[in-house]
Amino acid sequence: MMNGMSAWIDTHVHLDEFIHHGGAGHADAERRRAAQAGVAHCVLPAVERANFDAVRELAQRHGDSYALGIHPLFTRHAGDEDLQALVDELAQRADDPRLVAVGEIGLDYFDKTLDDERQQHIWREQLRLARRHDLPVIVHSRRSVDQVLKGLRELPVRGGIAHAFNGSEQQAGILIDMGFKLGFGGAATFERAHQIRRLAASVPLAAIVVETDAPDIPPHWLYVTAAEREAGTPPARNSPAELPRIGAVIAELRGMAADELARASRDNACAALPRLAALLA
């Protein structure tokens, strides 16, 4: 507990992106603000070779954890040398207790400019690496849940987190049976997000983890409309400090207390990412 508040775990935040927006001091300030709001721990997934060092160093500096991987949106520029860099980094950091997963990895069929063969190749190679190191995975599955499930069936791993899950109830059940937890965040705060809100309310409590994906996927209270952007309002930027309020919305959808959801999602995060338990002990 922190200052009488629930100790939340943000299972998906790109804290290193705040460096690009305002320097290292800005990222550190955002993390301190999150801590003051009640966020006890953040998981920082990499998205490309270029930010492997940044996520590791931020995790070490703030007592958080990190994952290493190549995001599907970055596969358009990633080659065999990037995969080899991931191979080398995972081997070098194999005994680092703060390295908790391979991620953010997966498939994205929303972006039609991506090369399917390339992203499939990089996705499958990263699943093989997760198997080699017996690590869970943090999965991106935008418009691609069935294809992601196909890869996981052919190259099963020790579970992990389906980040920003937006699939069907049947797909949710399959992932849960595979040992995955489902990540819910700012999208669940929008009343029009009917499917996500139904899932957040109905999947087993033991399957839920909470996340912000900051600075992306802002909750409704930060959202900037297209008209506002055209009028000069800067785009919304999410923050890990928003997690307790996002969690409270999800708890309300489930008809439970926010403190109860904070405890359950913490336990679920430790189950999904086993190295977390030792860090949080």
pLDDT tens figures, 174-187: 999 999 999 999 99
Mean pLDDT score, 24-47:
96
- pLDDT value of residue 23: 80
Instruction: Tell me whether residue 21 is annotated as binding.
Output: no
Instruction: Tell me whether residue 62 is annotated as binding.
Output: no
- pLDDT value of residue 5: 61
> Could you read off the pLDDT of 193-219 as tens digits, one per residue?
999 999 999 999 999 999 999 999 999
CATH class of 9-280: alpha beta
Query: What are the residue ranges spanned by the domains of the chain?
Result: 9-280
Instruction: Tell me whether residue 228 is annotated as binding.
Output: no
- pLDDT value of residue 205: 98
- pLDDT value of residue 1: 37
Instruction: Tell me whether residue 12 is annotated as binding.
Output: yes
> Could you read off the pLDDT of 161-177 as tens digits, one per residue?
999 999 999 999 999 99
Structure tokens given for 1: 């507990």
- 23 vs 67, more confident: 67
Name the phi and psi angles at 7, rounded to 5: -90, 105
Distance CA 265, CA 261 (A): 6
Instruction: Tell me whether residue 104 is annotated as binding.
Output: yes
What percent of the chain stands above pLDDT 70? 98
- Residue 114 has what DSSP assignment? S
Structure tokens given for 58: 């931020």
Phi-psi region of 2 (alpha: psi -120 to 50; beta: other; left: phi over 0): beta
Name the phi and psi angles at 108, rounded to 5: -135, 110
> Could you read off the pLDDT of 52-104 as tens digits, one per residue?
999 999 999 999 999 999 999 999 999 999 999 999 999 999 999 999 999 99
Q: Is the peptide bond before 45 cis (omega within 30 degrees of 0)?
A: no
Q: Above 50 in pLDDT, residue 4?
A: no
User: What pTM, to 2 d.p., does this model score?
Assistant: 0.96
Phi-psi region of 130 (alpha: psi -120 to 50; beta: other; left: phi over 0): alpha
Instruction: Tell me whether residue 14 is annotated as binding.
Output: yes
> Could you read off the pLDDT of 220-247 as tens digits, one per residue?
999 988 899 889 898 889 999 999 999 9
